[in-house]
Amino acid sequence: MEPVSTAITYYENYTPVGDVSVLGLCLVLLVLMKVAYNVHTKNYRILQAMIGSLMVTTISSMMYHILLNSLGEVAPIWIYLTRGLTHFGYLLILFLYVRYVMFPLQLDEREGKVYVMIAHAGLVFFTLYDVIGTVTKLGYYITADGEIHEGFIYLFVVSYFYFFVLIAWLLLVYRGRIIRQLLYGIMGTFLISITMMGIQGSHRQMSFTSVCFLFPILTLFYMIHSNPYNIEIGSVNVDAFEDMITYANRRHEERYLMCLYMPGFEGTGKHYPPEIQQLVRAFAHEFFKGAVLFQISNGRMALVITTKKNPDYIEGGRRMLENFYEAYKKFQLDYKIVYLPTEERISAKHDYIRFLQFVESKMEINSVMIAGEQEFADFHRMNYVLSQLDDIKKTGNLNDPRIEVFCQPVLNIATGKYDTAEALMRMRLPETGMVFPDVFIPIAEEYNFIHMLSLIILFKTCLHIKKMLARGYHVQRISVNFSVGELREPSFCDDIKRIIKDVGIPNDKIAIEITESQNESEFRFVKERINELRKDGIKFYLDDFGTGYSNFERIMELPFDIIKFDRSLVIACGEDEKSEKMVSHLAGMFAALDYSLLYEGVETEEDEKKCIRMCAKYLQGYKYSKPVPIEELTDWFEKEAV
């Protein structure tokens, strides 16, 4: 193609106002990205690189046009360099944009490999074409007498269109993976940029090219990386909290966290009163340098301190706590405060929120905890238990060796013998050994692993009953505990019946213990499940009667066979005559209605006598036996008479 001589070209219509404006806006964006504590992901760094590239490009663009105005006074090499840097900068921004959009499109390395290669090819081709054109004088060059030859004047338009088509293709092919608003935002701003460059070209202008490159960058910043502060209390959000900790951990920078939990605001959507808002804002900046306040949830905040900037952070924390106590006298809002240093294993797994919840669950209301090695160790132990529970559920082995059955024998008052027992759950893990129910059952219930554990206990109990029956032992029944929530499982009854049938024991050798429901919908499920299973001969115990909530109307509606009086009622009987009369009358009422009564927690001879006076048919407690491995039940049970 013949070179086009353009001694009078676009540069004569250039004004630096566009480049200067873009340079200022880029600086503003970088400042905002710095102070807003955005998530420092790979695409965040690509966005920063785009903004930095645009800044360098606008500076080189201004230098190029300044040097053109001094044509003849400066060596052409400087003009070539600034022009080449400007064009390469624009191409690099488009290349980075291609790399960026792969993240919201969720393209992995394998899927995006072809598109990255196409973008690389475009960047290299158009850059080399421009350079070779100048060297061979087939493209842009300046003659010895100062005449400018543009060569293929549409090179930049073609390169821009190449990358735009690639970006548009990516967005349209994978549009199902991206939110529609972001798709419209990116495509819309590119179309606006193209239109603006077309208008600029028709007026033989080059002043606003950098502005057209800024628009698509602004779309990404606004729609993905904007992270406004909560102006009420001066905090930023939970995503920024997790990222700051991860970023600090990656750079081996120590942080210290001061966390405030106000349960009265958690999950309510209520706003803090203006006086508290003012107090929180003051706390965030008054005692520490560069501290950042994060709102983890509606009722939980965390102040993150860089210890390097605050070597006296312990003293600062003490003074802040003193001020907090003064404020508490006025507002009287319940709280829990946790102080803790960052810990590498928790930082790496983004586990601080769960760690805070774990620590808070063990704290009294209106208390302060300085978390240390013991709390971290307990938390890691809890996580280990959780991972094992998850594996137990995924494995689905009803004979899983990690779950063991212990039993507590129950004395039958009528016969004076042990022919029933309660099956209890224990967990034995490779790293920790024995784990007791008060540790793993709350975790299992919270994460929905409890039903699998209950089925394992039921299966192993049935197996052992079968062995005892085969050896001639008299087993009236053994009870297994199930939580009320498990009865909501659609397969609950089928699970129970299938296990008993597969093992091959009579249905009446198994009883199910459940606690009373406090929820109307749960009560309906409980009633339906009890009625269905009792038809097959399975008995039901109402466990822990006398603790927490008790609704006699509902209890009477449920066809329980045995009512288990909690140890607290046994203790209450020994405290005064009034309590004993009350428990006696309750026991008498249940006995008159043909419920059998079982008293738990019997520890002394006196306990035993009182319970027998109060209509007891069964007694259970340390007076007779502590829980023992189910294999040892034969030490208490007797063989059938021949």
> Per-residue pLDDT for 5 more than 50?
no
Q: Band of the pLDDT at 280, cuts 50, 70, 90?
A: confident
Helix or strand or coil: residue 378? helix
With beta carbons less than 8 A apart as the criterion, state whether 215 and 185 touch.
no
Mean predicted confidence (pLDDT) in 429-454: 92
pLDDT of residue 538: 94
Residue with tokens 């960026």: 100
Bigger pLDDT: 6 or 79? 79
pLDDT of residue 163: 92
CA distances from 20 to 17, 140, 152, 209, 406 (A): 5, 25, 28, 12, 78
**pTM passes above 0.85:** no
User: 282: Cβ–Cβ under 8 A, 6 or more apart, which residues?
Assistant: none
Bigger pLDDT: 506 or 298? 506
pLDDT of residue 2: 42
Q: Band of the pLDDT at 10, cuts 50, 70, 90?
A: very low
pLDDT of residue 220: 87
Pairing of strands 300-306, 255-261: antiparallel
Residue with tokens 């006076």: 613
Q: What is the pLDDT of residues 554-601, one digit of tens each?
A: 677 778 899 998 888 877 776 677 777 888 888 888 888 889 999 999
Q: Band of the pLDDT at 12, cuts 50, 70, 90?
A: low
pLDDT of residue 223: 81
Residues 90 and 108: their CA atoms lie apart, in Å, by 26
Mean predicted confidence (pLDDT) in 304-332: 86
Percentage of residues in the chain having pLDDT higher than 70 = 92
Q: What is the pLDDT of residues 347-397, one digit of tens each?
A: 777 788 889 999 998 899 999 999 989 999 999 999 999 999 999 999 999
Q: Band of the pLDDT at 534, cuts 50, 70, 90?
A: very high
Residues 514 and 539: their CA atoms lie apart, in Å, by 11
Q: What is the pLDDT of residues 191-211, one digit of tens each?
A: 999 898 888 878 777 788 899
> Per-residue pLDDT for 292 more than 90?
no
Residues constituting the chain: 642
